[in-house]
Chains A and B, each alone.
Chain A
Amino acid sequence: MRDSGDERLDLLFTAARAARMDTSVLEEHFETRLMARLRDRTREGIPWYALMWRMVPVFTVLVALIAAYSISYKPLSSGDLFAAISSGQEEYLAQNVLTGE
């Protein structure tokens, strides 16, 4: 439902739409100023924090790959019965020697 407020607003929009700011003076030699700034930026090189941001996707992929690998990794079960029994025994023995048991 349109009211007098809407009509007033539309009039204001019409007035503002018709009035484009004259930017011709600002536009003069803009290319020169811009290219000079771009050359400065190129000379300065990419700041380290920008590089860090650019490396974020690489780090993300790396972390995802490591996570996927660690979840899916299962050590091969050995068919050797003695190896299966004695696995972990070295640590147990070493603990006993150190604690004097």
Chain B
Amino acid sequence: MTVTSVPEQPSDESLISATLAGDEGAFSLLVTRYKRRIFGLAARFARDSEEVEDICQEVFIKAFENLAAFRHDAPFEHWLTRIAVRASHDALRRRRREKGQSGFDDYVFEVRDYAGEARHEARLARELLKWALLRLKEEERVVITLLELEGYSVREISSLTGWSESNVKVRAHRARKVLKRVLEENDERQR
């Protein structure tokens, strides 16, 4: 009987060391390892696929250029997610000027097709939420997206954004309040 050994995956630490020593391939492996996570997060904030690509490129470029500053006191994934949250927040702020105040009926569905799009009602619900999220301040949108859609705790959001836990709670509360009001206003308009 022959036993085939599964090649061991190099650790993040060894890939980081190799990258810092000038091994481009090592960084490429790190990208492959975490790109799904970063793309998923960026997609929550981006308005289209081009913006998703832009945010992800920005995240990994920043990670590459600041890799020497990574202190190994937290997992690499956490450090990378922090950069991704900041890049997404920056993207929202850049878009602030373009933000319109149209009604849901005028909202153009720019979101790409989801895997296995099945039920029309569920799709409409997601689109309605995406439209309502556009009404929030950037900071509120970051908090409510991480809390309600990505499932992070208040403490984790505080660590990812650098805002205090009470600040995160206040922003989440405000965001819910605004979202409820926006949805009510939309209902009244529809009547």
Size class of the contact patch on chain B: 35 or more
Contact flags (1/0) for B62-86 with A, using CB distance below 8 Å?
Answer: 0010000000000000000000000
Bound-state CA distance A38–B22 (Å) is: 13
Say yes or no: B61 contacts A41, CB within 8 Å. Answer: yes
Complex CA distance for A20 and B39, rounded to whole angstroms: 10
B174 within 8 A of A: no
> Interface of B with A (CB < 8 Å)?
24, 27-28, 31-32, 35-36, 39-40, 43-44, 49, 52-53, 56-57, 60-61, 64, 111-115, 122, 125-126, 128-130, 132, 148-149, 151, 176, 179-180, 183-184
Q: Within the assembled complex, what's the spacing in Å between the Cα atoms of A19 and B31?
A: 24
The answer to whether A23 touches B39 (Cβ under 8 A) is yes
Q: A16-B149, A30-B31 are in contact. Are A6 and B180 (CB under 8 A)?
A: yes
- The answer to whether B126 and A8 touch across the interface, beta carbons within 8 angstroms, is no
CB of A12 within 8 A of CB of B60, answer no
Query: What residues of chain A lie closer than 8 Å to B44, measured between beta carbons?
Result: 21
